[in-house]
Amino acid sequence: MEVIAGNIASPKGFYADGIHCGLKKTKVDLGWIVSEVPANAAAVFTTNQVQAAPIKVTKEKMDSGQLRGVIVNAGNANACTGEQGYRNAQQMVRAAANKLAVPSDQIAVASTGIIGRQLPMEKVAKGIAKLQKAGDPQAFQKAILTTDLTEKSIVIQSQIGGKTVTMAGCAKGSGMIHPNMATMLAFVTTDAAIPADLLQKLLKELTEVTFNQITVDGDTSTNDMVFVLANGLAGQRALQEETSDYETFKKMFQHVLTALAKAIAQDGEGATKLIEARTTGAVTNEAARMISKTIVGSPLVKTALFGKDPNWGRVLCAVGYSGQTIDPDALSISLAGINVFQSGMPITFDEAKMQEQLAKPEIEILVTLEEGTGQGVAWGCDLTYDYVKINALYHT
């Protein structure tokens, strides 16, 4: 497996484009990803009971298992917009399908941005008419951003069945991030051949250990979506479970989703640090994941690390209220590579060295239990003054 330069349209048979249509003041805000041929599709969606119109429309498209592409806008979530919002999402689909000369049931839709405002459909329709097949894939990766400071993308290749298979991913997400399939959108394209039902099963499995293990602020968005297209143009035989080719593809897929998930956590609104919490020795892997996610979701842990405060008691507290089985007297904690708590007892550490470690942009917290063999990891970010400022002034 090799990480290569590229973009969301790097796999064979894909193209993408992005333009400015007026939903934002100046930035690119509308784009699409399209496959030259029908592609097997899979998706997971937010578990928030309040779901945006594009989520409802795209869910309806997934029954066939095959789609040609997705139309996406930023700057307006088209959420909590009633029947009119639903019709607007459908209109976006029809406009994109007409431009591409494909059936409308072959196009999905996604939106991100401010909740509770109707889309200005005249601007959106004019924008869709300007999108090109031979457009700018890099512009698509910009078109999905809201408060993000960076693009989040990755392209990898590997040999599967004697063919070179390419997989690309891009995502947006910076605030309202606490996915439980945040505002989070992710798109993956691949030229691998894999049945739609197997792709859906694998996406659901890997989402649990990647996107569902990140948190920025504990809020699960109305618009979360992870959307995957696999068009088979690499030319290898369709993947089957319990084969070496399937395991290679699974490793590729997990690598892409993990990279995107970590990039979202690192680009949390106002964030200065990526926090990785790793738990070992839990009763089960799921228990370890939940402990790790509780740690990175703790406001007290997040603020302590922003202030470079080695307050490991906050980590211990989070472990204790995680709802998982623990023995505090057999628990150890390492903070930024320095042991601070061992088998239920505090350890004296070099405070100057700790300050140096906590000033780094990536901080690891390691929790070791003696309950079993379960292990899991989660990612988050620190909580800063700027997070409050960004969200206090979001509409203005």
232 with 330, same domain: the answer is no
Q: Is 396 helix (H, G, I), strand (E, B) or coil?
A: coil
d(CA 263, CA 188): 15
Residue-wise pLDDT for 333-368, tens only, equals 999 999 999 999 999 999 999 999 999 999 999 999
Q: What is the mean pLDDT of the chain?
A: 92
161 and 288 share a domain?
no
Structural domain including 188 reads: 2-266
Q: What is the DSSP string of 64-127?
A: GSEEEEEEEEEEE---S-HHHHHHHHHHHHHHHHHHHTS-GGGEEEEEEEETT----HHHHHHH
Same domain, 204 and 144: yes
Q: Which residues pair with 189 in a beta bridge?
A: 168, 229
Q: Is the pLDDT of residue 178 over 60?
A: no
pTM, two decimals, is: 0.87
Count of domains for the chain: 2
The catalytic site residues sit at 183
Q: 57 and 130: one domain? A: yes
Nearest Cα residue to 33 out of 123, 131, 161, 176: 131
What are the tens digits of pLDDT across the range 298-321? Answer: 999 999 999 999 999 999 999 999
If asked whether residues 132 and 261 sit together in one domain, one would say: yes
Distance CA 278, CA 283 (A): 14
Do 253 and 324 reside in the same domain of the chain? no
Domain boundary (219, 240, 266) is at: 266
Does residue 175 carry a pLDDT above 90? no
Whether residues 13 and 159 share a domain: the answer is yes
Residues 18 and 135 in one domain: yes
pLDDT digits (tens, 9 = 90+) for 287-296: 999 999 999 9
pLDDT at residue 176 is higher than 50: no
Domain C-terminal end among 232, 266, 300: 266
| End position of a domain, from candidates 199, 234, 266 | 266
Same domain for 242 and 289, yes or no, is: no
Which CATH number do you get for residue 141?
3.60.70.12
